[in-house]
Chains A and B, each alone.
Chain A
Amino acid sequence: MSTPTAPVSSVVNVGADLLADAVASQAVDVARVDWRPPLPGTESDLATVAADPLRRDANARAVAAYHGVTARLVDVVPASEALGLEPGQFLHAGPPITWDRASGPLRGALLGGAAFEGLVEDPEDAAALFEAGSSVSLEPCHHRGTVGPMAGVVTPSMWMFVLEDVETGRRTHCSLNEGLGKVLRYGAYSPDVLERLRWMRDVLGPLLQGSVRAVRDSAGPVDVTGILTQMLQMGDEAHNRNRAGTLMLLRDLAPAMVLESERGGGLSPADVAEGLRFIGGNDHFFLNLAMPACKLALDAARGIEGSTMVVAMARNGTDFGIQTAGTGDEWFTGPAQLADGLFLGDYGPDDANPDIGDSAITETAGIGGFAMATAPAIVRLVGGTVPDALATTRRMHEIALAENPRWSVPVLDFQGTPTGIDVTRVCRTGILPQINTGMAGKVAGVGQVGAGLVTPPEEIFPKALARLAELTRERAQA
């Protein structure tokens, strides 16, 4: 607390430059805020929420809860067992959606998922099931403690990573990563895609279950949060680049995987070798651990009254939705945007589907696009430069509540990654969260067409703010 005798060390000036000049002329340091008017129509809600007596401490608690989580890999089990998912129940990425509004890649993944589960022989025949809707149901992954990359389709016999916060026993889940290109999560459902899914079901899942359990019971479960700490210092941002993380996971699991063929699970040394080759050859394998680790940490901040922190950003290919700590399970949605980036082969912007996937949970947690500075290698995805990457992370700090004490960026002098997107700060600055993402083909069955950068639709932040303001006013009147 300052007293009038304490010399004023410096002044932060927001507003008229002339007043900053007057301070500077007295040889006092002045930091000049580059203030601009907030997003149109948010002034009154911003003032209401800013004056909410709960807000500051609620946000501090949300940040502390988020930072307090360490995610450990405790199991690998089928979704039927992990989530109680029954035949005909399908999970998908993003906020809730119906078949009639679903985009190509989500439809493609659902068709493939139905064929994979044996509901139909030919994936194309499953369209009638989803149109009828009587024997199948759609539900967001997020509603089941799960996150799904891209289309995010989860069916009962897919194997799931199970992450646990050892402090509380809370769990989150994610399917196993298929690799890149023509894969189910990008909406492809050709025979080779289904073939790979079956191999993952019959070989990779059991192999991982045995080795994850063996490691858990001997050395203790793999510390996924700890691997994230390290990979962020090795050029990964944990959304579009997971190379170091994948290799570190492999390092932790490989000895136990090698012994799997001797544990009587019916797997051969050749199966083990294939599993090792598959993981080692898939730079994105760790994404499916990074995502549930982020969700586990962010879920700890849910349900804190008065907090303006974003706890989920997710896209279903049609809608982009966010949830905040202070607004319960309500989704604030707007149209998913097209990413700007690089395309595979002959594909171009006309082939791309709007933004899709739960993987923006990484940005919600302050990595991915928020940690661009630590992964300069991937700025080329959008034809950017290394200075762009540094500027992006610095810009994301402008809308974040805090810095992560564990996840730091060496090139920014080990500054922590931006933690906790603040809805009010987005509305005040107009700076939208920067997301690194893959691009799916808009036609069902095509698969991946590229990767790039995208932001949420601007209007969802004022929507969330309006609800926060409404709740603030209700509390004030109570």
Chain B
Amino acid sequence: MSTAVSSETGPGTGTSHVELRSGAYADSVALLQVSRSVQGVAGVRAAQVAMATPLNIEVLTSMGFAVPDAAGPNDMVVAVRVDDEDALAGALAAVDEALRAAGKRSTGASADVAPHRTTATALRDAEDGAVALVSVPGQHALVEAMDALDAGRDVMIFSDNVPVEQEVALKRIAADRGLLVMGPDCGTAVVGGVGLGFANVVRPGPVGIVAASGTGCQQLLSLLDHAGVGVTSALGVGGRDLSAEVGGLATREGLRRLDADADVELVVVVSKPPAASVATELEQYAASLETPVELALLGAGQPDLTAAAERVLTRLGVPVPAWPVWGSARAATGPLLRGLFAGGTLAGEARLIAAEALGEVTSAPAALAGDTHAVVDFGDDELTTGRAHPMIDPTLRLEHLARVGADPRTGVVLLDVVLGHGAEDDPAGSLAPALAAVAAPVLVTVVGTGADPQDLERQVRLLAEAGAEVHLSNAGATRRALELLEARA
């Protein structure tokens, strides 16, 4: 491990210290926790410990740290700004301590046996019913996922930034072997009663889901749960599965399995509209199954997720409830809609619904400071390279929210909070204080079930008490935002 260090002291700016630790590695979530704990040390003004990916270098640079040119994605950067030289030693000790704590594993194995280093070797020791869950950086995901396929196991690939040709290679091999590749960029699955990734806690029931959309799947889970309908399996397939390149390989395998499952009475496919070439095949395949299939294809002119949930309920003969709303928003303050989302599908749905009423709605983060309506997905691949997803790490979204809240052009702020396994412990706890500084009305969709670990009721209460109007339906929240803007105009 080599270390490159630069320290500079400026008048009133404190002391900045940057060091490079090559050969050290920790995942982005662990490093987030390390950064946080060091930020809390006395005398530390700023601290960022991260792998030197291009995005993280950008973040460090914007924080005023000079990252050495030699830094590459396999190097760990430790950057701290402290009041004075005396505080530096304490800060660095805190970094080392936090890294040690992050590196501690409770594997349950005896202390003298090192953990396995690859998916292949870990699967050798695993039982037959094991599945692999891959969330390494995208350029490394295929190799680990292929280990699972070689061992005859299903795999969920949470990683994003996986090249599409690698996705195709994995899914072709999986199809040959009767295996399921969930992903890449698959955020949510419920398999055999176990939630993988970001999954809400749902009761078993008559519905089976195949989802090319993580938060779309979660919206469906939470709405069905509210209506008292359970879900047996929710098989994620990744957002590109129904594209022309991938050709629905995983969707087909997911449908095959759900069709073979006697507990499943109705299958729902949640996806953006498939490529034309794939759509026909998918419809033909769905028609050939014994189990009825409901296609919830999201896009312009298509029913939204809430409408899809309602159709499912109707097909099952379950009455459609009024989707709950808590709290009440004040009137719009400015002309523009600002959506800051953690869930990609939720952002997309809001953008579509808003565009029908408002015309153009942009999606680039920079647009949040511009003169157009904007709905931004902070979980987008470009914004998660080398940093954790906003459902885990709210930092980036909170930074933008502060700016949007202070902007007089902001008319209505639209947000989502996604609960369930894997998500932040207390998202409302970090979001509610930030809402105090927002003058515009705030609408929040909380996607969750009563059994989720974050306590849905408490999350809703915290947000409503902070002045937000809280919805369970994202489509409902978006339409309400449009009403508020309409009323102002």
A and B bind: yes
Assess whether A43 is interfacial by the CB under 8 Å rule: yes
Q: Which residue of B lies closest to A425 (CB)?
A: B118
Set of chain A residues within 8 Å of B25, measured between Cβ atoms: 36-37
Set of chain A residues within 8 Å of B134, measured between Cβ atoms: 14-15
Tell me if B158 and A26 are in contact (CB < 8 A).
Answer: no
Assembly CA distance A31 to B29 (angstroms): 18
Set of chain A residues within 8 Å of B127, measured between Cβ atoms: 9-10
Set of chain A residues within 8 Å of B473, measured between Cβ atoms: none
Q: Which of A4, A37, A56, A431 contacts B192 (CB 8 A)?
A: A4
In the complex, chain A residues 200-242 whose Cβ is within 8 Å of any chain B Cβ: none
Assess whether B140 is interfacial by the CB under 8 Å rule: yes
Segment of A45-53, A69-77, A248-256, A265-273 in the binding face: A45-53
In the complex, chain B residues 109-159 whose Cβ is within 8 Å of any chain A Cβ: 112-123, 125-137, 139-140, 142-144, 146, 148, 150, 152-154, 158-159
Assembly CA distance A222 to B258 (angstroms): 58
Assembly CA distance A12 to B197 (angstroms): 13
Q: Which of B118, B133, B260 contacts A428 (CB 8 A)?
A: B118
Tell me if A32 and B114 are in contact (CB < 8 A).
Answer: no
Set of chain B residues within 8 Å of A398, measured between Cβ atoms: 116-118, 121
Tell me if A35 and B144 are in contact (CB < 8 A).
Answer: yes
Assess whether B195 is interfacial by the CB under 8 Å rule: yes
Assembly CA distance A9 to B72 (angstroms): 38
Assembly CA distance A78 to B400 (angstroms): 82
Assembly CA distance A13 to B193 (angstroms): 17
Set of chain B residues within 8 Å of A23, measured between Cβ atoms: 133, 194-196, 421
Tell me if B143 and A10 are in contact (CB < 8 A).
Answer: no
Set of chain A residues within 8 Å of B293, measured between Cβ atoms: none
Set of chain A residues within 8 Å of B193, measured between Cβ atoms: 7-8
Segment of A332-340, A375-383, A387-395, A436-444 in the binding face: A387-395
Tell me if A9 and B142 are in contact (CB < 8 A).
Answer: no
Tell me if B122 and A14 are in contact (CB < 8 A).
Answer: yes
Set of chain B residues within 8 Å of A13, measured between Cβ atoms: 132-133, 135
Assess whether B58 is interfacial by the CB under 8 Å rule: no
Chain B 304-341, CB-CB to A under 8 Å as 1, else 0, gives: 00000000000000000000000000000000000000
Q: Which residue of A lies closest to B193 (CB)?
A: A7
Chain B 229-251, CB-CB to A under 8 Å as 1, else 0, gives: 00011010000000000000000
Chain A interface, number of residues (Cβ within 8 angstroms)? 55
Chain A 393-415, CB-CB to B under 8 Å as 1, else 0, gives: 01101100000000000000000
Q: Which of B129, B142, B196 contacts A50 (CB 8 A)?
A: B142
Tell me if A31 and B107 are in contact (CB < 8 A).
Answer: yes
Tell me if B421 and A25 are in contact (CB < 8 A).
Answer: yes
Assembly CA distance A14 to B169 (angstroms): 20
Give the tally of cross-chain contacts (CB within 8 A): 204
Assess whether A38 is interfacial by the CB under 8 Å rule: yes
Tell me if A10 and B158 are in contact (CB < 8 A).
Answer: no
Chain A 39-73, CB-CB to B under 8 Å as 1, else 0, gives: 01001101100110100100000000000000000
Assess whether A5 is interfacial by the CB under 8 Å rule: yes
Assembly CA distance A47 to B144 (angstroms): 9
Tell me if A10 and B129 are in contact (CB < 8 A).
Answer: yes
Tell me if A14 and B114 are in contact (CB < 8 A).
Answer: no
Set of chain A residues within 8 Å of B294, measured between Cβ atoms: none
Assembly CA distance A50 to B144 (angstroms): 9
Set of chain B residues within 8 Å of A11, measured between Cβ atoms: 130-133, 194, 196
Q: A358: shortest Cβ distance to chain B, in Å?
A: 28
Q: Which of A1, A28, A56 contacts B178 (CB 8 A)?
A: A1
Q: B251: shortest Cβ distance to chain A, in Å?
A: 14
Assess whether B453 is interfacial by the CB under 8 Å rule: yes
Assess whether A33 is interfacial by the CB under 8 Å rule: yes
Q: A389: shortest Cβ distance to chain B, in Å?
A: 12
In the complex, chain A residues 90-139 whose Cβ is within 8 Å of any chain B Cβ: none
Assess whether B74 is interfacial by the CB under 8 Å rule: yes
Assess whether A6 is interfacial by the CB under 8 Å rule: yes
Given contacts A14-B136, A15-B27, contact A7 B158 (CB under 8 A): no
Interface residues of A (CB under 8 A from B): 1-20, 22-23, 25-26, 28-29, 31-38, 40, 43-44, 46-47, 50-51, 53, 56, 387, 390-391, 394-395, 397-398, 424-425, 428-429, 431
Interface residues of B (CB under 8 A from A): 25, 27-30, 72-74, 102, 105, 107-108, 112-123, 125-137, 139-140, 142-144, 146, 148, 150, 152-154, 158-159, 166, 169-170, 173, 177-180, 191-197, 199, 208, 232-233, 235, 257-258, 260-263, 388, 392, 421-422, 453
A4-B235, A16-B27 are known contacts; what are 19 more A-B pairs with Cβ within 8 Å? A1-B152, A2-B154, A3-B257, A4-B233, A6-B192, A7-B194, A9-B128, A10-B130, A15-B134, A16-B29, A19-B196, A26-B421, A34-B105, A34-B117, A35-B136, A38-B140, A47-B139, A47-B143, A425-B120
A–B Cβ pairs within 8 angstroms, 25 of them: A4-B257, A4-B258, A4-B261, A5-B232, A5-B263, A7-B194, A9-B128, A12-B123, A13-B132, A14-B136, A15-B136, A16-B388, A18-B422, A19-B135, A22-B195, A31-B107, A35-B117, A35-B140, A37-B137, A40-B72, A44-B139, A51-B166, A394-B114, A395-B114, A397-B121
